[in-house]
Structure 1
Amino acid sequence: MVDHPPADPLAELARLEGVPSAVAAAIDSVDAVLRDRGLRAFGPEVMTSTLLIGARGNAALTDAPDTWLPGAVRLSAELTTLAAVIRVAPAQALARAHVLLARGVAPEDQLGRIRSDPATAARMAGLTALLTGARVGSALVLGAVAHAELATVAPFGSADGLVARVAEHLVLISSGVDPRGAVPVEAGHAADPEAYGRGLAAYRSGSVGGVRGWLVHCATAVGRGAELLGASSAG
């Protein structure tokens, strides 16, 4: 008997109208910066700058950017470490991300703890299965879905949007799209806050068009992040 690889649960989403071209454009933008210039071109100063850009972008999409910026900066220093865990033990990676983000803001006994209600537990179990089972070939789509699911479920009750945006980036790092975590994807979202809000609302509607729109938005944000990295390294 021939063993067949498991079906990719994201394959249908990846084929929605406009998604393949948007994903391809985003990958091309990242490749143009990372591969064409060479990873070695990004020294410590550039990496520090782009990580700060991503952290600021992440915090900027909250109601209290100054409050959440310190945690976003702390988390930026552990992106590649958590990326090694996100596809193997998602709950562990997400809990650690929340601890880093919400320390000093949320109560100590709530750090890294997911709400225990059945609906949240079921949705998070589904996300865990997706993160551990989806193929690398769907990295941008997987990251976008993980982002929207976490932002929608809000499992921690604080810093959920920040965790969601970082989760998308962790998927891109773990898949090799952005191996060093140099592309400030979070800032790519923050570049157009209104489009970001509309995209999430569309995803939450559950319609095919809404999900498609969110996936295209996320691909665009990745492309913007690559442009920001390029500008930072050129400076």
Structure 2
Amino acid sequence: MAPSTLQGVPDPFSALMDLEGVPSAFAATRDGIDSLLRDRGLRRTSPEATAESLLRGAAASAAIEGAPYDLEALRAGEGDPLALAAARMSTELLGLVPTWQRAPLQALARLHTLVARGGVADADLGRPVDPAGARRLTALAQTLAAPSDAPGLVVAAVVHAEVATAGAFASDNGLVARAAERLVLVARGVDPAALTVPEAGHRAAGRAYGAALADYAGGSPASVHRWLLYAAQAFADGAEASPVEPPRGPRRT
């Protein structure tokens, strides 16, 4: 993996928890996510709520890339082509969780194929075209295959930044990166029903999101540190964007 913080360390994800402020930031974010999902009735949510969360995430992710944010049009299967491509990818996202767990490179290839279809040559669909980027994705997959005690939120943040900044695919690396982040949150039990909307958290950050990724691409320990602190807040904001409504009034006993 590219950042020097993660090189030559037996458990590089867990090693990031030694950075100042990172454990407390991610613990607070996880507590907030757990509390919010519990209070909104996680066990009583429906597949429709998950589908709505994924759709909101697709709209937000496409908007980050410059597409108009028009959730109603997207819900009707209309609107900007990039947003429609992101929505198409979102419909298969949860079905890729088993693939992600055993073969993350295969899952990334499928994500790119889904979102880039019609936008790049068929020969470039799902295939890394940048050799250096391909090596980074391979290193990432090898790291993911090793046991780690790191919180799932930290792993998700690193996966997002690595895929986005590696630039391995011919197009849509950011869209693929944010979808991969979702896969990690589901696969690692942070948000198993995919009810938070991390993409909305990144969209809400505005220019700070792109700046944080550009900083991460520098590869220094300080850059990785700043990205993780940014990501902890973005995840918290994404939880607040969940479509699951809070309970109304006191519960009956």
Whether TM-score is above 0.5 comes out as yes
Amino acid in the other structure paired with 2:20: E
Q: Which letter does structure 2 place at the counterpart of 1:13? A: L
Checking the alignment, whether the CA contact within 8 Å between 1:46 and 1:233 is kept in structure 2 is no
User: How many equivalent pairs are there?
Assistant: 228
* Cα offsets for 1:103-160 (capped at 9, x unmatched): 122222211111163x233212211111222526331121111111111111111010
Give yes or no for the alignment of 1:105 onto 2:119: yes
Change in 2 beyond 3 A, CA 1:162/1:136: farther
Determine the C-alpha separation between the residues in 1 that align with 2:195 and 2:65: 22
User: In the alignment, what sits opposite 2:73?
Assistant: none
Q: What is the TM-score of this pair, normalised by structure 2?
A: 0.83
Q: CA deviation at 1:27?
A: 0.6
Paired position in structure 2 for 1:142: 155
* 2-structure distance, mates of 1:207, 1:9: 14
Secondary structure, in 3 states, of the residue corresponding to 2:150?
A: helix
The 5 A counterparts of 1:44-59 are: 44-59=47-62
Counterpart of 1:42 in structure 2: which amino acid?
Answer: T
Q: Which residue number corresponds to residue 95 of structure 2?
A: 81
Q: What letter is aligned with 1:206?
A: G
With over 3 angstroms needed to count, the CA separation of the structure-2 counterparts of 1:134 and 1:146, relative to structure 1, is farther
Q: Assess, with a 3 A threshold, how the Cα gap between structure 1 residues 169 and 134 changes in structure 2: closer, same or farther.
A: farther
Name 1:11's counterpart in structure 2.
14
Match of 2:74 in 1: none
Unaligned 5+ runs, structure 2:
1-8, 69-79, 248-253
Aligned twin of 2:227: 214
Structure 1-normalised TM-score?
0.89
- Counterpart position of 1:123: 136
Identify which of 239, 242, 253 aligns with 1:226. 239
Identity percentage of aligned residues: 46
Greater CA drift, 178-187 or 130-139 = 130-139
TM-fit CA distance, 1:9: 1.9
Moved over 6 A (4+): none
Greater shift in the superposed pair: 119-128 or 90-99: 119-128
Compute the displacement of 1:211 (Å): 0.7
Answer with 61-70 or 214-223: which moved more: 61-70
- Superposed CA offset, 1:1-37 (max 9, x none): xxxxx94222221221111111112111210122343
Question: How far does residue 45 in structure 1 lie from its aligned partner after superposition?
Answer: 3.5
CA contact (8 A) 1:136 1:175 kept: no
Does residue 43 (structure 1) correspond to residue 46 (structure 2)? The answer is yes
Per-residue deviation, residues 153-199 of structure 1 (Å, max 9, x unmatched): 11111010100111111111100001011211111111112110111
RMSD, aligned CA: 2.0
Partner of 1:202: 215
Query: Any unmatched runs of 5+ in structure 1?
Result: 1-5
Counterpart residue number, 2:75:
none
Distance 1:78 1:33 in 2: 26
SS at match of 2:20: coil
The structure in which a higher percent of residues are helix is 1
> Partners of 1:122 and 1:167 in 2: how far apart?
17
Q: CA deviation at 1:208?
A: 1.8
